[in-house]
Amino acid sequence: MPTVVRLRSAVCLLDRFPALAGVDLDVEDGEIVLLSGANGAGKTTLLRLLAGLIPLYSGDAAVLGCDLSRDRRGARRGLALVGHETFCYDDLTVRENLRFAARAAGRGPGAADAALKRVGLDAVGDVVHRRLSAGQRRRLALAVAWSRDPRLLLLDEPHAGLDSEGRALLDEIVRAAPGEGRTVLIASHELDRIRSLAHREVVLTAGQATLPALVPVPAPAPEKADVAP
Amino acid sequence: MSLLDEVRLVAGKDLRIEARSRVTLQQIVPFGLIVLVLFAFALDPDRGVLKRVAPGLFWITVLLAALLAVSRSYTIEADNGARDGLRLSGLDGPALFLGKAAAIAVQLLALEVVLAICVVVLYGIELNSLFPLVLATLAATVGVSATGTLYGVLAAGLRVRETLVPVLLLPVVAPVLLGATRAWEAAIDGVPSDAWPWVGLLGVFAVLFTAIGMLAFGSLLEEA
């Protein structure tokens, strides 16, 4: 399996403070990896580094075969980040925001409409972003990421603000990701929930990754056989 | 997607946001009109003075309004982490630059039409030659938009963006003020052919800053 993420002694500074202090990490194609750790451990910083949104101070970092020190744009072409914000425009409708993101990624309006359906936002497609609830915004952020058809999906606390239906939908998207050729990194405090989805867990402590703890891959739920009463 | 498609995508996005929020229509255009009226109040006793300085007053007003348009162009990227979204979008730096500059230019051109009508009515100027005036206006608008987009992204990530952009931008666009004013003076009540060297200066300025913007915008956005 090709390596999608490769970090060696990666250091990131935020206001001259080492938010990541020498992280080593390998993520293989098709893996679902849980990033866990206390608040301030560096989970968000790690995801933003991988998305090319903050610079690498020292060490080596490669995402999708692109060296982040030299070719952040190349790495971004194949990834999507669901962060704390939606990356959307308040005065554009849900559909317009999605179409902009999809077209920027070289995909047609069909991809945006499919993403809209996938996250269950078709009913509010013509509503401007500023009028969405917090949960709807989370769904839209997920749709924006999904519409780009990314090979690497970076999710930062993706369950926050979602209702139970939204959480189930998100789980379904994450569970289906390897089969669709995607690799997923999820930073979350909802450990039990994500552990049931993830192939393994990486614990960040004070900006450093400890040895990955292997988590058993959950067996797929058996399909119910149609049994005549 | 081709460069042109990407430019259209970015400019279309910015213009759609403006059409919906109506900030240009409801704030920037009235601001420009108020400035022109205030100039008229200040110089009213002598209409001859107003006529003589009308081109300069017009372009000072346009530059002040351009500061608002540039600021607005980056304010919409500040909410909801949209600037990060733009960086993650995969769009090329030159396309982002040209798209944002084109959206500002379209808004400024609309503003200039309204202000020009206001100048004719308020200041009582009569046009001698339209062609150099239109060319000078187009070149000056492209120059101001390109420079504004470039300096806007330079300050985009800073808390002091609103106050820093005017300090950075106004000295740089001084040649536009000079060239456009002289070209308009020649086109209004001078010798029209005197406008051409100034139109040339404005053209060189526009091309120079468009080229610099296309080269530098991507890197500056990364650092914003």
Q: Which amino acid is at A65?
A: G
A1-71 and A78-177: identical CATH topology: yes
Beta strands in B8-155 (DSSP E): none
- Distance of alpha carbon A12 from alpha carbon A10, whole angstroms: 7
**Bridge partner list, A153:** A80, A184
pLDDT reported for residue B43: 82
- Give which of A119, A118, A5 is closest to A56, Cα–Cα: A5
B137 within 8 A of B127, measured Cβ to Cβ: no
pLDDT digits 0-9 by tens, B41-57: 888 756 678 888 899 99
DSSP A110-164: HHHHHHHHHTT-GGGTTSBGGGS-HHHHHHHHHHHHHHT--SEEEEESTTTT--H
Domain assignment of residue B183, given as a range: 3-223
- Distance of alpha carbon B102 from alpha carbon B49, whole angstroms: 35
The answer, yes or no, to whether residue A76 has pLDDT greater than 80, is yes
DSSP B156-203: TTSTTHHHHHHHHHHHHTHHHHHHHHHHHHHHHHS-GGGHHHHHHHHH
A145 by Cβ neighbours in 10 Å (0-12 / 13-18 / 19+) ranks as buried
What is the rounded average pLDDT of the residues A4-31? Answer: 88
Instruction: Assign a CATH topology to domain A1-71.
Output: Rossmann fold (3.40.50)
Residues of B in contact with A91 (CB under 8 A): 16-17, 20-21, 76
pLDDT, mean over chain A: 86
pLDDT, mean over chain B: 91
The torsion angles phi and psi of A205, rounded to 5 degrees, stand at -130, 115
Provide the pLDDT confidence category of residue A190 given band limits of 50, 70 and 90: confident
Classified as helix, coil or strand, A177 is coil
CB pair distance less than 8 Å for A104 and B6: yes
Residues of B in contact with A87 (CB under 8 A): 80-82, 84-85, 88
A153 within 8 A of A4, measured Cβ to Cβ: no
B129 within 8 A of B46, measured Cβ to Cβ: no
Q: What is the dihedral of CA A10, A15, A18, A19, to 10 degrees?
A: -80
Q: Which of B13, B17, B88 sits opposite A81 (nearest CB)?
A: B88
B109 within 8 A of A124, measured Cβ to Cβ: no
Quote the tokens at residue A155.
Answer: 């999710």
**Bridge partner list, A156:** A187
Give chain B's residues under pLDDT 70: 45-47
pLDDT reported for residue B211: 97
The answer, yes or no, to whether residue A15 has pLDDT greater than 50, is yes
Domain ranges of chain A: 1-71, 78-177
The answer, yes or no, to whether residue A98 has pLDDT greater than 60, is yes
User: Is beta strand A200-205 parallel, antiparallel or unpaired with respect to A208-209?
Assistant: antiparallel
* ∠ CA B77-A83-B157, rounded to 5°: 35
Question: CB neighbours of A118 closer than 8 A, spacing ≥ 6?
Answer: A143, A146, A173
Chain A nearest CA to B66, separation (Å): 21
B219 in contact with chain A, both atoms CB, cutoff 8 A: no
Classified as helix, coil or strand, A171 is helix
The answer, yes or no, to whether residue A90 has pLDDT greater than 60, is yes
B42 in contact with chain A, both atoms CB, cutoff 8 A: no
Q: How many domains does chain B have?
A: 1
- Distance of alpha carbon A179 from alpha carbon A55, whole angstroms: 31
pLDDT reported for residue A220: 45
pLDDT reported for residue B189: 83
CB pair distance less than 8 Å for B81 and A105: no
Q: Establish how many alpha carbons lie within 13 A of residue B95's alpha carbon, considering only the half-sphere containing its beta carbon.
A: 19
Interface confidence: ipTM more than 0.90: no
pTM here? 0.88
Residues of A in contact with B21 (CB under 8 A): 91
B8 in contact with chain A, both atoms CB, cutoff 8 A: no
Quote the tokens at residue A79.
Answer: 């990834």
The torsion angles phi and psi of B76, rounded to 5 degrees, stand at -65, -20
pLDDT reported for residue B115: 94
CATH 3.40.50.300 for the A78-177 domain, yes or no = yes
